[in-house]
Homo-oligomer: A and B are copies of this chain.
């Protein structure tokens, strides 16, 4: 069995080929990952622009004149904007271009209007309330680098530079296969007590979606070699990554581990010194990957996060699928094995720090998916770590 660190290195060294991109409409780009650098094609603003409602003036007039003649009106969006000469001003609104000659905007609140003149009551410094050329950005500046997940601010900036179509990373297609004769799909009638309701298919489908992939739900296949083989072939033809659950342990009905090599896939590794999920297997066939996870709900979720999520992130051009943060143990932690352990914990933020505790988390088998409910993280303990005292700084995968 290889170590966790070795397994992660092997994942990061897998050749996943060039990034594949597609063009989508701006309004469909939210949450997608940018596949091009977004570069400003002009200064913004391109001309000096008013930042308030007021009067455009020459600043040098402030010491010279007690009042200035209002020479006109310059609403935002006006086509023709007149010029300002000494002794005069033009009423100018937020977002309007500054009139030629004017270098300062004196706000409405700072003047008194008497007939066609303004009397300055409170002067302002030169350039006041004028957005200078390129206040926001300069032509040629990289506004948004490739690999950025597009949020509201990115979408707004893209709109502001008139980008209608955006090049984003294609969503990797991830097929999800649950194996096990005991597994019953949601909505199916339970016929006897030995059946177990499927949760893996839905947990993993949701993880794929949250990570930006496109799930392909292949459903459940019983412990039958031919059926499993056929389902895997179908999945490989249709997807970039095939994720399966079950069939990788040491039991007589664990067929997946035997079938994957027979599909012509090269096994990258099988078995990692981790808890849960030590039987996890990663294989590659051409440009496609197979990530075979254990069957228990908590094990399959954790090993998906450790092994499938980084592949999805790499295909999207994203650096890391999850943040790993430092947190402080509130309570002692008893390590249970000499493996790298990934333990569901409560992650809270108080007094400027993240804290870890295990209140309400159940110990027991690796079937307990409910341990991942709430504000949960995955605490990482290394192979070499022993029991940990309260107050220890630990690393936590923030989910």
Q: Tell yes or no: A53 within 8 A of B by CB.
A: yes
A251/B53 in contact, CB under 8 A = yes
Across the interface, which residues of B come within 8 angstroms of A399, CB to CB? 151, 153
Q: Tell yes or no: A93 within 8 A of B by CB.
A: yes
| Chain A positions 363-399 with a Cβ under 8 Å from a chain B Cβ | 364-370, 372-373, 376, 393, 399
Return the contact of A362 from the options B53, B136, B153 (Cβ within 8 A).
B136
A 72-113 binary contact with B (CB < 8 Å = 1; else 0): 010111110100000000010111110000000000110000
A158/B202 in contact, CB under 8 A = yes
Q: Tell yes or no: A192 within 8 A of B by CB.
A: yes
Q: Which residue of B lies closest to A51 (CB)?
A: B365
| Chain A positions 191-217 with a Cβ under 8 Å from a chain B Cβ | 191-207, 209-210, 217
Copies of this protein in the complex: 2
B78/A367 in contact, CB under 8 A = no
A97/B198 in contact, CB under 8 A = no
Across the interface, which residues of B come within 8 angstroms of A194, CB to CB? 76-79, 81, 96-97
Across the interface, which residues of B come within 8 angstroms of A156, CB to CB? 199-200, 202-203, 206, 297, 301, 369, 372
Kindly provide the distance from the CB of A356 to the nearest chain B CB, expressed in whole angstroms. Answer: 12
A393/B95 in contact, CB under 8 A = no
Complex Cα distance, B73 from A376, in Å, reads: 38
Across the interface, which residues of B come within 8 angstroms of A195, CB to CB? 77
Q: Tell yes or no: A161 within 8 A of B by CB.
A: yes
Q: Tell yes or no: A181 within 8 A of B by CB.
A: yes
Kindly provide the distance from the CB of A302 to the nearest chain B CB, expressed in whole angstroms. Answer: 11
Kindly provide the distance from the CB of A115 to the nearest chain B CB, expressed in whole angstroms. Answer: 17
What 10 additional pairs, Cβ within 8 angstroms, besides A45-B367, A76-B181, A95-B295?
Answer: A30-B206, A51-B367, A53-B254, A136-B368, A136-B370, A153-B203, A153-B376, A156-B200, A159-B199, A327-B352
Residues of chain A at the chain B interface (Cβ within 8 Å): 26-27, 30, 45-47, 49, 51-53, 73, 75-79, 81, 91, 93-97, 108-109, 129, 131-132, 135-137, 143-144, 151-164, 180-183, 186-187, 191-207, 209-210, 217, 222-223, 249-254, 295-297, 301, 323, 325-328, 349, 351-354, 362, 364-370, 372-373, 376, 393, 399
